[in-house]
Chains A and B, each alone.
Chain A
Amino acid sequence: MKVQQISVFIENKTGRLAEVTRVLGGADISIRALSLADTSDFGILRLIVDQTDKAQAILRQDGFTVSKTEVVAIEVPDRPKGLNEILEILDRADINVEYMYAFVDRRGGRAIIIFRFDDIEKALATLPKSGVQLIKSEIFQNT
């Protein structure tokens, strides 16, 4: 149920973000979800792609600093307070969310949120018991 995410360190200067997408595109790697967290000096680009290992290798080759992290993808129910219910479950179980970002799964037409937890094992043990729908990593792969 874990999903592999890669993070890339980029300086805040023009062209660096485009360089990442150019390198990945050139290697036929598709970006499934993306989020950029930035400060005044630098940013951290988080990506979920269809070929994680290849993407990591090719970005490294291009001189980027890359790391791999495990995250959890959760389908958010399409109703008011859908996200809030999930956050309350996490809160009760004392699981911290380091960051999260959303994207829409085009094929399923569902809203999916990527969560980075401080304790992913605990999150994986807790969430399904509370009826939360976890997304298998396969949906990010090329099919």
Chain B
Amino acid sequence: MIWNDDFETLPREAIEALQLKRLQQTVARVQATVPFYRQHFARAGVSADQIRSLKDLQRLPFTLKQDLRNNYPYGLFAVPLEQIVRIHASSGTTGKPTVVGYTRRDIETWSELMARSFAAAGADKGDVIHNAYGYGLFTGGLGAHYGAERIGASVIPMSGGNTKKQIMIMQDFGSTVLTCTPSYCLFLAEAAAEEGLDIRNFKLRVGIHGAEPWSEKMREEIEQKLGIKAIDIYGLSEILGPGVGIECIEAQDGLHIWEDHFIPEIINPESGEVLPHGEHGELVITTITKEGIPLIRYRTRDITRLLPEPCVCGRTHMRLERMSGRSDDMLIIRGVNVFPSQIESVLFNIEGINPHYQLVVDREGNLDTLEVQVEVNEKTFSDEIKEMQNLSRRIRKDIKDLLGVTCSVRLVEPKTLARSEGKAVRVIDKRKSLDS
């Protein structure tokens, strides 16, 4: 179901007209009220009155996560604190957290966009929404909560943890929609199985999962183990929280980003150049309705691409492909951008290959070299040399065909690839030691 037909199915020209108007207002507002932006724009030699078309967005400088840290805690707020009704913060794995503030209207917008997201995932007022995202400084719990109430569903504010109780309530209360991280979803299924319960017999029918990267493989596993449709949701606290974009249940193919509130761009993370639709790069988002902390060209570090093709669901807002990694992981090999996650997905599609691989990047003369090391297992092992060479050739060819980069393949014995703290070391870039 489409929650807000007026906005979600706007023709492209109307979306762009609305975006331009809202962009101009936002840029003028931050220039007037946020000292950081006033200086930031001045240094880039640009000012609000120069934004006359959507293309002019590209004249504005990027905002980085570091800019939020440098202005900790309230420096980027565009309204006085008395207009802020809620404060969230992202967990600061390194140093201080990044802090975001919401005005009453921001909370309203967020609830609306989460309501659209729930509706896109097939939820409605008849549903019992089991919200296992954490409530607190993290935006997941409250963000989903307000949207769930907005569509009129019965929301159970579970928050995270206490798995046994989660399972009991899910079963007894007849939860039909589960919102949590994809990994917690699988954890719940396993914990239920340990108690002798088959979670597939519960009333659950839809899971809405985000806040961490996951793969198509993981979706298959979730859908199979829980007997539900698993929907990918995207959001980040700096921009809003959950509900920036979501897959529709009709297609489950790419996440509609709510373009009447956000302008997405894809850039080359090295050069900052804006890439055409369809190309992989870093997602940059400009908020165009936010009051508390509007962000101009915020670099998300998430790697994806924009899918402008029309969607079967009827929504006209563009889709983002499932996030395929972080721009910090990007490798440039002979001028071609490659993400380890792209190589991983090529390998996943070759029958029998296990997920253990390592990329060794080096330089011979002036040429970058990429060696893909893949562990041999009993499914891929053959007693015939030519079969093994066929495997290497197949990997090399698929990587060349799909990613446009030439590599060599080395088959290695199992468990020889370095693992640290249970997490595999995916990339060894020997060029770095050459440069320094």
Binding site for B on A (CB under 8 A): 5, 7, 9-11, 16, 37, 39, 41-42, 44, 46, 63-67, 69, 98-99, 116
Q: Is B415 an interface residue (CB 8 A)?
A: yes
Query: Given known contacts A37-B385, A65-B377, A116-B384, what 8 new A-B pairs fall within 8 Å (CB)?
Result: A7-B382, A7-B383, A9-B411, A11-B412, A44-B382, A65-B381, A66-B378, A67-B383
Residues 406-420 of B, flagged 1 when their CB comes within 8 A of A and 0 if not, give 000011111110000
**B413 → A minimal CB distance (Å):** 5
Asked if B383 contacts A11 (CB within 8 A), the reply is no
Cα distance A7–B416 when bound, in Å?
Answer: 19
When the two chains form the complex, which single residue of A44, A63, A98 contacts B388, counting CB atoms closer than 8 Å? A44
12 A-B contacts (beta carbon < 8 Å): A7-B383, A9-B413, A11-B413, A11-B416, A39-B385, A39-B388, A65-B376, A65-B377, A65-B378, A69-B383, A98-B384, A116-B383
Q: Which residue of A lies closest to B375 (CB)?
A: A65
B414 touches A65 (CB 8 A): yes
How distant is the Cα of A16 from the Cα of B414 in the complex, in angstroms?
A: 13
Could you tell me if B381 and A41 are in contact, using CB atoms closer than 8 angstroms? no
**9 A-B pairs with the lowest CB-CB distances in the bound complex, closest first:** A7-B383, A65-B381, A69-B383, A9-B376, A37-B385, A65-B376, A41-B410, A9-B381, A11-B413
Chain B contact residues: helix, strand, loop or mixed: loop
Q: How far is the CA of A11 from the CA of B411 in the complex (A)?
A: 8
Say yes or no: is B39 at the interface (Cβ < 8 Å to chain A).
Answer: no
Query: Nearest CB to that of B392 among chain A residues?
Result: A41
Cβ of B389 < 8 Å from any Cβ of A? yes
Q: How many residue pairs between the two chains, A and B, have CB atoms under 8 Å in the bound complex?
A: 52
With contact pairs A65-B377, A65-B378 given, residues A10 and B384 touching in the complex (Cβ less than 8 Å): no
Task: Give, as a whole number of angstroms, the nearest-CB distance from A38 to chain B.
Answer: 8
B382 adjacent to A67 (CB under 8 Å): yes
Q: Is the CB of A63 within 8 A of B381?
A: no
Interface majority SS on A: helix, strand, loop or mixed?
strand
Contacts of B415 in A (CB 8 A): 63
- Assess whether B383 is in contact with A5, with CB atoms less than 8 Å apart: yes
Contact A10 B411, beta carbon cutoff 8 Å: no
Q: Is the CB of B416 within 8 A of A44?
A: no
Are A63 and B383 in contact, with the CB atoms below 8 A? no
Q: Tell me the bound Cα distance from A42 to B411 in angstroms.
A: 7
Q: What residues of chain A lie closer than 8 Å to B376, measured between beta carbons? A: 9, 42, 65
CA distance A98 to B384 in the complex (A): 7
Bound CA span A44–B376, Å: 12
B385's partner among A11, A16, A44 (CB-CB below 8 A) is: A44
Contacts of A42 in B (CB 8 A): 376, 388, 410-412
Residue of A nearest to B389 (CB): A39
Residue of A nearest to B383 (CB): A7
- Most-contacted residue by chain A among B378, B384, B416 (CB, 10 A): B384
Given contacts A11-B416, A41-B410, contact A67 B378 (CB under 8 A): yes
CA of A44 to CA of B378, assembled, Å: 13
Q: Which of chain A's residues have a CB closer than 8 A to the CB of B413?
A: 9-11, 16, 63-65
Q: Which residues does chain A contribute within 8 Å of B411, judged by CB atoms?
A: 9, 41-42
Q: Which residues 273-326 in B have Cβ within 8 Å of A in the complex? A: none
Q: Which residues of B, 331-390, contact A by the 8 Å Cβ criterion?
A: 376-378, 381-385, 388-389
Contact yes or no, B414 A63, CB < 8 A: yes
CA of A63 to CA of B417, assembled, Å: 13
B330 CB to closest chain A CB (Å) equals 27
